[in-house]
Structure formats: C-alpha cells, structure tokens
Amino acid sequence: MSQARLMDGTALARRIVEETARKAAELTDRTGTAPCLATVLVGEDPASVTYVRMKQNRCRKAGIDSRRVALPAETTTEELVGTLRSLSQDPSVHGILLQHPVGEHIDERAAFEAIAPEKDVDGVTFASFATMSFGLPGFVSCTPGGILRLLDAYDVDLAGKRAVVVGRSAILGKPVGMLLLARDATVTYCHSRTRELSSVVREADVVVAAVGRPRLVRGQDIKPGAVVIDAGYNEGNVGDVDFDSAVERASLITPVPGGVGPMTIATLLEQTVDAAARQLGV
C-alpha cells in the first residue's frame, strides 16, 4: 500500500487566520472596536508562558487585541474566579482564555465556570460542551473544532464510519467524540482502563489519538486505509501515534508538528472574532 497523504494543518490554519484577520479588520472599521481576547495565566510554568505568548502573537498578527492577565502561582480559586467574573462582565473583553493547567490547589472547573458562555472562545465551560454536543450555536472546544475542520478540508465523510477516540479528557477526547457523533460516526472512546486497546483501534475507519503518551498507537494497530488524527504533543515533537509505521497503513494522517496544533490556535482566533461580532451586534 502507498504512503498516506499528509493533512496539512499549517496551511489550512493559515487560510483560516487570513480570513479571520480580514473579518477582524472589517469589524474594527465598522465599530471602532477591535476584538479583544483576555488571556489569564496563573503562575509561571514555562510551557504555559510560551503558549500564552504564542497565542498573543497570533492575535496581534490577526488584528485582535489581547489583554494579558498574569496571576501569581499562589492565587486561590476564589481570587481566580473573581478575576474571570470581572473579565466576563467587562464589555471591552470579547473572549477569555484561561491557560491550563492552573495548579493543583485550584478548582479548575470552578474557574472555567466563571467564564461567561458568550466569551468562552476556548470552549471549556459546561454550557459550551452542551451546546456543542446538541449542535446548537455556541463555541466549540478549540482542538476538537480544529480537528473537524481538518477532516472536512480533506473531504473525509464521517457518516456511518467507525471512529475510535483514544483519550477522554474534557478538553479533547470527550468533545471530539461528540463532534464525530454529530456527524453520524459510530464513536468508541478508549482510555487508560480500556482492555485490548490495539484490537479496538484496529476496527477504526477514523482514529483520533489524544492521550499524551508518545507513539502509543502503532502502525500495526491501524486498519489499512484509515484516517489517523494525532492530537498528541509530547516532548521532542513526538505525537501519540508512531508516525513512521502509521503512515504506511493510513490513507490520511496528520503530522506532528504541523497537523492538529496550528488548527487549535486558528479556531481560538476565529471564535474570538465571532464572539466580538456577536457582542458588538454586527
């Protein structure tokens, strides 16, 4: 069998960001207000600091203002909830991103729930999960939303297909399964207690790996011709799929980096501009 075609998330994300920048400029012209994303960072975890800086740089390039709120590591749940509530009420802020993880001593769910649904451009609240799952207007979780855009861009027909999602986190595994279900895929979730993971994955027409374990999904587990989405990002630019063996069996596969990662930020920027447009009544 020939090698899989690569799903180029970098190129697709670039097109989405260009379109988003065009919409942001138009909105700013019409209303005199630029879309604004507040990024909230608790502590100084180097990876989180880098992610926030990267998101702010991308915002700037797309004509989106960003407001950086940096809180000390010892911030309490109550203080964080207070900050997020006041950003939720601030009319000059249109989207809110709480960078996670936030630290063991903080109730992350309580913090997420302090974000107003209309500003939840990262799609982390209960309300966003529910609207996304029911196919109602709202914001999707960014990485899952980006994955669906990639599948659409490569004309992957999901109806009736067996989709296996490895991972069930609130921000990635669970919501991506819901989006696949909404497209009429038959969805199976796998997790750390799943027995015989390889044999479950082997039945999949579409595999989404969202685990955080380098190269957990191997080529021999991939049904020939399957579509493989690797959302994993581990040290050394390594995904959750063993790319070298999987590329020999799949029909389409995302590279790491350059597959799912850029789509996440593109979705965040797009949803921030959509949030601003709704709040500014345009």
Q: Is 281 annotated as a binding residue?
A: no
Residue 173 CA: distances (Å) to CA of 60, 200, 208: 30, 16, 8
Sheet of 186-190, strands arranged across: 5-6, 252-253, 227-230, 206-209, 162-166, 186-190
CA distance from start to end of the chain: 51
**Distance between CA 108 and CA 102 in Å, rounded?**
7
Of 87 and 190, which has the nearer Cβ to ligand NAP? Answer: 190
| Residue number with CB closer to ligand NAP (28 or 174) | 174
Name the helix (H) or strand (E) containing 260: helix 260-279
Minimal distance, residue 255 CB to ligand NAP, in Å? 12
How buried is 196 (Cβ within 10 angstroms: 0-12 exposed, 13-18 middle, 19+ buried)? exposed
29 neighbors 59 (Cβ within 8 angstroms): no
- Active-site option among 56, 65, 99, 242: 99
Cβ-based burial of 179 (10 A; exposed 0-12, middle 13-18, buried ≥19): buried
264 binds ligand NAP (CB under 6 A): yes
Ligand-binding site membership of 53 (annotated): no
Q: How far, CA to CA in Å, does 244 sit from each of 111, 149, 154?
A: 40, 24, 21
Distances (CA, A) of 266 to 14, 64, 184: 8, 12, 25
Stretch near ligand NAP under the rule CB under 6 A, chosen from 108-116, 148-156, 166-174, 200-208: 166-174
Total residues in contact with ligand NAP, by rule CB under 6 A: 27
The minimum distance between CB 9 and ligand NAP, in angstroms, equals 9
| Whether 99 is catalytic | yes
Report the site for ligand NAP in 82-111 (rule: CB under 6 A): none
> Which residue number, 27 or 187, has a Cβ lying nearer to ligand NAP?
187
The total number of residues shown for the chain amounts to: 282
Whether 161 is a known active-site residue: answer: no
From 56, 65, 119, 122, the catalytic residue: 122
Q: Build a one-symbol-per-residue string for 188-227: x at contacts with ligand NAP by CB under 6 A, - elsewhere.
A: --xxxxx--x------------xxxx--x-----------
Q: Is 167 annotated as a binding residue?
A: yes
Judged by CB under 6 A, does residue 171 bind ligand NAP?
yes
Q: Quick one: which H or E segment has residue 95?
A: strand 95-98
Given 233, 242, 251, 273, the residue binding ligand NAP (CB under 6 A): 233
The verdict on 169 binding ligand NAP (CB under 6 A) reads yes
* Vertex 138 angle, CA 137 and 141, to 5°: 135
Which listed residue (35, 63, 232, 255) binds ligand NAP by CB under 6 A?
232
Q: Considering 23, 55, 119, 161, which one is annotated as catalytic?
A: 55
Contact residues for ligand NAP, defined by CB under 6 A: 143, 166-169, 171-173, 190-194, 197, 210-213, 216, 231-234, 240, 260-261, 264
Active-site positions read: 55, 99, 122
